[in-house]
Each structure stands twice: as C-alpha cells, then as structure tokens.
Structure 1
C-alpha cells in the first residue's frame, strides 16, 4: 500500500527512494572552481539553495497531503430544530437531567439517524447527535414540541460542499408533503410525527467552542436584566462563549432591549448574536452586533423563545452589555387592517423597535371613488437592497420595496384603492418603516402646496429659497434669483451669504470660485500673499507663514514662526496644519504628540434642537452642571480629573441666585439620563470658579470659565477629557462639528432627559457676521445649519462644540455661548472660540 493512502503520518524522510532517480548533470567541473576566498561563500550559497529546494518540496507534499488526499476528514457541526406534533411539551422538558428530557431526546436522536439514513451523503459521514433543548411548539404550525439538536459529521475535504447541500436539503415540508414525510416510523409505539426539520452549519467563529455548561435558562414572566460577565465594573473576560436562553409564556414573545452595548469593533473578534431559537441556528439569526452600534437595539422573537450569545477573543476586551428582557402578548391582528380615512399612517410591527421575524401584514386602503391615493415612507429600513427583495420587503400594489434608500419616497396610484403588504422572513431583522398615506383629487394633488417632481408636497413658501426641500432640487428649478441671492452656473439660486464659505452649496462648486484676490493659477496664503500654485508643497516656505506647506504629506521646519504655525516645545515651528495628537511625530522633540491622553472615545463605531439621543459613553467629556435644588442648568467639558470648562454667563449672579458661588454647584460626570444614576456616574462639588475677567455680559465676549472640582475623579470609559486645541489650530468653514447637551428640544420648550447630540458645520466668520448683524467678535466661533432646525438651545450653555480630527481624536472647538432664538433659518449658533483662550486656560488651571 502507498503510505500516502494509509493512516500513517506523512514524514518527508520516509518512503523516498531516490536511488533510481536521474538528475541533471552539472556543467564543467572546472568552471565551478572558485578563486581563493570565495569557496566558502559558494558552499553557503549551495547549502541555502538546497535548503530552499527541500522546503519547497516539503511544502508541496504537505499541501498535497492535506488538501488533495481523499481520506483526510474534517469534523462538521450542524445545528437544527425539529417540530414534533404528537408529543406534548412538559415542564420537565426544560431540565436536561430529567427522565422525560432524556427519553424524548433519545427518540429525537433515533429519528435524526433515520432521516440521515435516507440520504447517502448524510448516512456515510454521520457520527452522532445530541439534543440541546426543547420548547413549546407553534400551535398554528401543528407542532406540540420543538427539539433543538446538534449533529456531528466527519467528512473528507472534497466532500464538504456535498454535505452542506445535503443538510440544506432538510427543509421544512410543504403542505403537499405532510402525508408522505410527516410520519417517519421508528416502531408503532414510539413513533414521532415530524412536521419540520431545519438545519444548517454552525457559525465558523463558534466552531471548536463547546456549548457552555454555564448557559443561563431564564423564564421571562416579569421584567429582568442580563449582562456580560463583569459588567459594569470590569471588562468582559477574554476567549469566552456564553449563552442566555429565554422562554416566555405560551402565546407570548420575548423582547430584549439593550441598555448598553459596547464591544470590540471587529465582529470577527467579539460579537453578540441573537436567535429566534434556543440554539445558534443561522437560519434563525435575528441580528449580529459588535462595536458601538447606533441603530435600534430592541429585538422581538416570533414565538416564546430567544437565544442570546456572546463570543469574545483573546484580547482588546471592552465593557460589554446590559439588556432588559420582558414578554409581550402575541396578539392576533398586531398589524395590518382596513384604512378608510382620507389620510393616516401605518408602520411595521413595534416600530421603531426592530420588527419580529416571520411576520406578515396586509393593509387595504380604500377612499372615495373620485380620489387617488399616495403613500410616503418617512423612514424605511427593510432587508437588503436588491431587485427581487426575496427576504424582507414591503409590497405596494404588487411592487416590492426593500433596502434603506426609500426615505421620503412617494408612491402614487391612479385608483382609490391601495394594498400594502409587509413580510419578514425567519432571519435578520431591521427597524422597519413608518409611512403616511393621503387621498387626493387628481386635478389638484397638492392643494395649497408646491408639488415636487417626485410627488412630494411641500409648503409653497419653500420654493426658490435656495434650499433643496424636495430632495431632487425640483423646488429650486426655473427660479428668478432675488437680490439677496446669486445664480450658480447650473442655474440654481443660492443666498449670497453662502459664497466663499468653503462649502459646495451649488453642487457644481461655482459658489466657491474666484473667492480670493489671487489670480487664476495662484494660491492665496493665509497672510494674504499670492504665490503660484506650482509652489505649493515644494518644501519651501513661499508664503512666509508656511500656509503653502500646511496641507502637504510632509511638514516643513520653518525658520521663523507665525500666527498660522504650530510651535514645538523647543520653540521651533512646523508648517503642518493641526499636527497635535494626529499620530505622526512632526516636532523633532515629539511635543506635538505629548499630552494626548484625551479626546478618544474609549469605544468606537461615533439639549439640542433637531438632534437625536446619544448612546451611553458616546460623549465621555460631557458634564451636567446642577444648581442645588434646581437641577440641570448648564453644560461643561472635562479637561482632566479635576478641571472643567464652561461658559462665563453660566456663573453670573442674578437677582435671586448667586451663580458665582462654588458651593451652589454640583457637577455630574458620566451622566446620560437626567435623574437616573448608574454605576459609572460621579457627582462632585465645585471648589473654585474662575470666570474670565474680561467677560462682557452685554456682548457675551470672552464667555468662558473654569471650574475646579473639590475632589479628583477617576478617568474611565465614561469620564474622559476632551483635547484642547493649540492657539493655531484651524477649524475651517464647512467642517462638521457636534453639539451635545440636555437643553430644551425646542425654543421655550422643556429640557431633554437623555443627552442629545446634533451635527452642525463651522460657518465662515464673514458670513456669520453678516447673519448676526456684526455682533460676532474674533473670540467667537459660528456653527449651525443655516437651513434651520438644528441648534443648541437653553440649557446647552457651557457645553462643548467638538470636532474630530482625521485620526479620530476629538478636540474642543467651542463653548456654547449665545444665539438669536434656537434653530432659526439663516441664523447661526455662537460659541466661544477656544483657540483664543488656550494660554488663559493653561495659566489658570495648568491644563
């Protein structure tokens, strides 16, 4: 027998009889003689060549041995479920040590063996099965009990695909197959009536991990919580596999809501996975999450069971998760129905929570005969974008829709009737949709409003105002530009204030052309000089202030410093823009990367008018400042373990309150929801307040103040300093920035309870001065969304305006100061420009 076909281990030294082999002859031996002094090198070279040849031969033989030989077998594990109609579920079936569990498990294993025996591939490579759990069956599906099992096979490498295909062939029988496949006899007294068999390969990341012995079995009758090991005091352990098995009452769903979820960003390392099952069946996987997700984290089962799994790697461990579980009654008619009003709304089940799997809904809309119907999807996240939409989808009059690009999509029908169907398959769910429908008279589809080309109706006053309200610029086409507007090259009219703000508002960048005094082909230096564009990034300071070398791959060491360059600790200056804490060492003394323990969210991914709720730990430098007995008054930013930065106007005395007195204040660090304490929230009293001596209460100039805490706090993932920019740090117009706080969510409204966040952009100072009637000083920074709707408001004062640099580090660009109202159109939010006070902060606090 050939040794390579036996079960012996391959050895490169055995079975190799080279005696009968012929080798290529060498060249003339005299030509191989070397000059004195080179012989040793030649021998070494020949030795290395021989070693390389031997290694190549060995590698080839090993590859052949392990990949091409047919008798090398791999263990394959498949997870599945079996629906059984002639066995009732008993309480004892939840206990693997009970006699009832073992008896039914034996029957299931015998039944699986019979099923596999009917397929030649499965029968040949099957080794063993084990039953993991039982649950109540689906009464509507005719199942009395569902068995969850694991089967092991040993298969030759070339036969893996055949085995996978055979397993996938074990599909649930259709109605027409029930009579033939529904009853597979063992013997007349022990027969199992099998209605369904679903099976699939185990997630490869779980392969090699045994089912954990410490799996938690949880009866979901009252609300409770589960959390990762060690949470919240320590990070979860490395290299673990944990399971939580949830069972609700019959005719109930399991609902799981994540309060906190912070894992490693790489899902190949650490992840949670939720299943509509009691075993990790891929066909029943509802979601997989890792990192710091910002989507809906509420999940519901189709029936009364759910499985949560946690898998971690060997390093980079993070805080983990906490989730709240509860049960929800399974009701008939949870979604769908008949709608007859002229307008209304409908949504996927449990929106904005993720919809359950295996759900089907039908809405029939019918209005008077003389009217037509249209439906607009306000939010839409259903399945994956594809032409066929085979899994989850919404069907409008037989047209299927799926994906995430349908927000504000309007669908019309020339009929008074419309049918909408929603379907979700057995795996991977989404947030779903919310839609509004409206009946209209065909001759006037948008009564009193402007009709967009996409059939969206908007307020007529929004036409030709420079804003793309339709979404396709339909409201900005064929407009006569007003005196306050300029015409883009593409014909659109935009406010003159938007010219030269470093943002492409026209869409063809024509609003950013000819913005400097320099001629075509010239570069406008920050100091006002013009140099040829050919001299940018040529390694020479042609501008005299280094600005022509500031955005180059390599920074330039300048002979002299300017107001636009970064000064290293050794007093030398470099041309690179914003080099501090960006990763590379630009200063010869490394001072640009010193003191950089700031601004990094320990876990990555990423009150405010027009904002959205933030995630726990997303803004660890955010502080809530309370006046004792009054609650939240202002925001602040963490600078280090003892110092905070806020606005000077927050600490000015009023007729009734001494805001300047430190003993009136309490600082809440690590807070997320007002009025709710948690394990990582820290409360401190204030020892000292240092308001800028030149603060002007009438103009809000120099609106900045420091607070010293009475006791240092421990810095962690929930309390972390934000980076302070150098005095020369540049925050260009158009750059995205974030405002955060618990202020009012509308002008004159009530304060938010959950920390809010909103994206704005830096606004050109000249433009901002025109907007705010020349009330903006050099010590102020403007940011906002000129379209309106997003802004800081009352209660956000003193909080941070933050900007993230390319390396992911967050810098404090501004302190919330003042504005005209909240979120008004063509009005900006005004912030204290932190770069102007970098020296003052250092002098007063040492930070």
Structure 2
C-alpha cells in the first residue's frame, strides 16, 4: 500500500529534463555530433569558396594604354590631377573608354578605366594615359588578350573615321587611331601607380636647356618607385645617369627601366639597367614625356642624375671632302653622344673635288650591309636609293660610295635606345680604292700586302688569311690549307677529305695552284678542281 502511494506521489521529469535525458542516450548523442560537424564543414567550405577559391577563379587582368585626343587644346591645369579641369576631362574620357568596352564582346568582364595622366603632345592635342581592369575567370582569360583588347578599341575608332583621316570620333571625342597603344601589365605596376601611392613623383622641365636634378636616396630602398618626367611642348627629354648604385641582378631585384611614356608600357621601353653605373651616359626620348621605374631591394642603394628639355634636332649637313685621302672629317649619330632613341633621322650630302673621287666612311664598331628580307634592327640607311642595314661589330670597317656626290640618309630603327656611332669620312680614288702597296679586305680596310698570310687577322675578319698556301702547309699532318675557315668551305664544295701529307688529293692541288697564282678566286679554284 505504501509502495503504491510512493509511486503515485513521485513526480515525473518535466519536458526539458526529459529531452535532456533522451539526448544523453548514446545513439542520440552520435547523431547530434554528426549534425554539428556537418554544419561546421558547410560553413567552412562556404567561407573558403567566397574568400579563396572564388577569388582565385576570378583574377584581375590589367592593361596600360595611351592615345591622342586630337583637336583639343592642352591647358596647364591638365597637369594637376586635383584640378577641376583635369577631373572634368578625365571623366569624359573615362566614360568614352568604358562605353567602348561595355558595348563589346568582353562587356561582362570589363570592370573600370582609370585616367592616369593628361599630357601635352608634340603633334598637338592631349595625350591620354589610362589603366583598364578586367575581372576574368580563368577559363575565359584568352578573351581579354592584349591583341583582343587593343583591337576592340581600334575597331571602334576605325568605324567612325571620316575623309580618309586617322582621326575617328567616339561619342564626339576625336581619337587618333595611329596613336593607340595598349599593353598588358602586372598588378604591381597598377597598384604602385594608383591613387594614394606615396612612391609616385612628377617633375616638370619648363625651360629648354635647364637641368632638373633627379636623385633617389637610399631611404627609398625596398620599394618600387615611379618618377614621371614632363617637358615643355615641342621638346624632347634627355636623361643623364651619373651614378646608379645597386647590386647586379637579372632585372628581378634591382633595376631601372626607362619608358618613353608616362605608364610602364612594354612597347615603350627605352632602356633598362640591371647593373651598377659608374660612368655617366645619357638617353633621349621621342616626345616630351618619360617614366623612370625603380625597383630596389633593401640596402644602400642610390641614383643620381638629371634631366633637361632639349629641342628636336634637324640633322642635315652638306659636306665637301678634300682632295687628299688623308684629310678627313667626322659625322655623328643624332644626339651624340647620347644613346639613339627609337625614332630619329639624319642626312649627309657629300661632294668630292672631282668625279674620279668617291666617299669613304670609316666606322669604329659599325658595319653596313645590303638589306635583305629582314628588318633593320640597328639602323636603316639609304645611300643613293640603295637600302642598307647597319649593325654593331667588334672591329673597324670602311664603307665606300663610288659617287662624287652621294646622299647618305640614316634613320633609327631599334625598338629601344641603341648605342651611338661616329664615323670619319674622306675621299678616295674610285678606280684604285687602296694604295699599290696595299690590298682590299672584305671589311673595306686597306692592309699592306706584306701582312697578308702572316697568320694574323689584320683585316679583322680573316679575309687576309684566305687562300694562304705555303710549302710548309704541304707537310702538315691535317691539311695543306692555312685557313680553317677556307678548309671547311672547300670540304663542303668538293666533298674531299685531306689525309696525311695531302698526297694526291684535290685540296693539295688547289693549294699548289694558289701558291703559284698568289691569289685565286673561288671560281678559279673550282675550275681547277674540275680539271684534276
């Protein structure tokens, strides 16, 4: 009876307690833990997708570009990015550029355009430097290749061109199609030139000939610095590098890159320095703007130099040579001794005392050869309507023009700055280029006959050691030809192999023939070989 009363009076657990008791049961606890782990995994995966994988799958692609706005007068306020005039013009140009790409096939990938600089231009109008940013999934990265992005902009201008002019109109903005240049750049280039960067500096040369000092101090080490140089309209910029203290590298750690623009565009690189500079040198731009891009790691690094505005040279000279060949003068490359810019030209008009005399040009480390199908990379020359290509060599050369009134035209043709050249000129006898006691080398030099076949490279291309066969050569254990180059050439022509003492071999007979004739042409030696 009492037990029954106790059972009736004992309270049953409430709902929350009852649930807790059930949860503490082992099967239920395992299910709860599994559910919590699942929720945590889902949350973590979502965070990884949003902040890592999605960011990696959509990467930014950056471009730097420039073009000329024609028929627009440049005003000094455009140099100040904070001025109302700059902001108004930049917003207008930015709207035009954005409209071009928002109406193109890459509209979904286009993000923004940023106008970096407005500068004056030697051709008139306003030169625009701008950035473009695309957000591109990795699978669609070929859609925003450098050629594709440039073609979209050029095609938009081309469709609006009128009257066979190079100027097209984009929403009323006159754009010169020949001035358009767009290059892909690194994100670091964009960020280091962006707004708020503490490493961007602008310097202006407002007076031609006045020197503006340019120093990068060691305290700037460990950063990437961009210094923008601008000169008065109609002038060029000459940069002089006095000292550049860095550690030698492969242009990865310490380097200075000079651009023929105000943005780091690969297609406008003038010069690149990756090693210390102790002797002063200078280089010249093709317009009135220049960008210096410094990359220096931590350490005692420094740069000292200056820049100035210079006038573009009108390089043309009328030269009268003297009767005596020993009397000579000098001609120099444009802007000498500065490095040659990618664009320059010079013309020399010579006149000799009479028709029997031509003009000889004596170069220290330069040679002229007739142009072939390849482009001239180190100088384009036109001499009496014949095209030649120049190239740098490690020896002296002489180029002769068999005309008493030749016109020599030179044009810079290198993509980057090139080494300067100088040449001495003199008159020479067209019928007898060298004195009687000398012979003519293939390099154009005149060498004494006594120095021929002496085992020394007097012509600086071994042409004075060709066809040199002496009696001592007949007993040589490998060949009877003194010149290895000639030996290989003759082996290629006649398919002969000289053996010990050259007994009964074609090359030995050719050698004897050359000994008797002193000199022999290749055709004479070939005909002799056919008779053997």
Return the TM-score normalized by structure 2. 0.66
**Which of these residues, 136, 145, 149, is aligned with residue 120 of structure 2?**
136
Aligned partners of 1:428 and 1:205: how far apart in 2? Answer: 23
1:686-725 aligned within 5 A: none
1:420-439 aligned within 5 A: 420-424=408-412, 427-439=415-427
Please tell me whether Structure 1 or Structure 2 has the larger radius of gyration of its CA atoms.
Answer: 2
Matched, 1:156 2:142: no
Aligned partners of 2:436 and 2:193: how far apart in 1? Answer: 66
CA contact (8 A) 2:203 2:229 kept: yes
C-alpha distance 256-185 of structure 1, shift in aligned 2 (>3 A): closer
Tell me the alpha carbon deviations over residues 458-508 of structure 1, each in whole angstroms, 9 at most, x when there is no partner: 467766776433213444668899xxxxx9998999xxxxxxxxxxxxxxx
Aligned partners of 2:74 and 2:408: how far apart in 1? Answer: 37
Tell me the alpha carbon deviations over residues 350-372 of structure 1, each in whole angstroms, 9 at most, x when there is no partner: 22310123223344445444344
Alpha-carbon RMSD: 4.4
What is the number of equivalent residue pairs in this alignment? 416
Matched, 1:329 2:311: yes
Gap runs ≥5 in structure 1: 1-12, 15-61, 482-486, 494-847
1:262-661 aligned within 5 A: 262-264=245-247, 265-292=249-276, 297-313=281-297, 317-331=299-313, 333=314, 335-341=315-321, 344-365=329-350, 367=352, 368-380=354-366, 388-389=374-375, 391-397=377-383, 398-405=386-393, 407-416=395-404, 418-424=406-412, 427-447=415-435, 450-454=438-442, 455-458=444-447, 467-475=456-464
SS of 1:354 mapped into structure 2: coil
**Which of these residues, 93, 101, 120, is aligned with residue 78 of structure 2?**
93
Matched, 1:125 2:113: no
SS of 2:304 mapped into structure 1: strand
CA contact (8 A) 1:109 1:130 kept: yes
Tell me the alpha carbon deviations over residues 696-746 of structure 1, each in whole angstroms, 9 at most, x when there is no partner: xxxxxxxxxxxxxxxxxxxxxxxxxxxxxxxxxxxxxxxxxxxxxxxxxxx
Match of 1:811 in 2: none
SS of 2:392 mapped into structure 1: coil
Aligned partners of 1:405 and 1:475: how far apart in 2? Answer: 18
Deviation of residue 92 (structure 1)? 0.9
C-alpha distance 378-178 of structure 1, shift in aligned 2 (>3 A): farther
Return the TM-score normalized by structure 1. 0.43
Match of 1:723 in 2: none
Aligned partners of 1:204 and 1:409: how far apart in 2? Answer: 47
Deviation of residue 411 (structure 1)? 3.5
SS of 2:111 mapped into structure 1: strand
Tell me the alpha carbon deviations over residues 658-700 of structure 1, each in whole angstroms, 9 at most, x when there is no partner: xxxxxxxxxxxxxxxxxxxxxxxxxxxxxxxxxxxxxxxxxxx
Deviation of residue 436 (structure 1)? 3.4
Match of 1:782 in 2: none
SS of 1:184 mapped into structure 2: strand
SS of 1:120 mapped into structure 2: coil
Tell me the alpha carbon deviations over residues 628-647 of structure 1, each in whole angstroms, 9 at most, x when there is no partner: xxxxxxxxxxxxxxxxxxxx
CA contact (8 A) 1:119 1:166 kept: no
C-alpha distance 297-381 of structure 1, shift in aligned 2 (>3 A): farther
Aligned partners of 1:271 and 1:478: how far apart in 2? Answer: 50
CA contact (8 A) 2:243 2:277 kept: no
Match of 2:215 in 1: 227
SS of 2:202 mapped into structure 1: strand
CA contact (8 A) 1:262 1:290 kept: no
SS of 1:255 mapped into structure 2: strand
CA contact (8 A) 2:341 2:416 kept: no
Match of 1:167 in 2: 149
Deviation of residue 129 (structure 1)? 1.1
Deviation of residue 388 (structure 1)? 1.5
Q: Which protein is richer in helix relative to its size?
A: 2
Gap runs ≥5 in structure 2: 1-40, 43-48, 323-327, 471-475, 483-532
Deviates more, 1:353-362 or 1:300-309: 353-362
Tell me the alpha carbon deviations over residues 426-453 of structure 1, each in whole angstroms, 9 at most, x when there is no partner: 8411113223344432331013662342
Aligned partners of 1:491 and 1:436: how far apart in 2? Answer: 40
Match of 1:82 in 2: 67
Deviates more, 1:422-431 or 1:250-259: 422-431
Deviation of residue 229 (structure 1)? 2.8
SS of 2:257 mapped into structure 1: strand
Aligned partners of 1:401 and 1:488: how far apart in 2? Answer: 42
CA contact (8 A) 2:453 2:468 kept: yes
Aligned partners of 1:328 and 1:87: how far apart in 2? Answer: 24
C-alpha distance 111-360 of structure 1, shift in aligned 2 (>3 A): farther
Match of 1:252 in 2: 235
Match of 1:197 in 2: 180
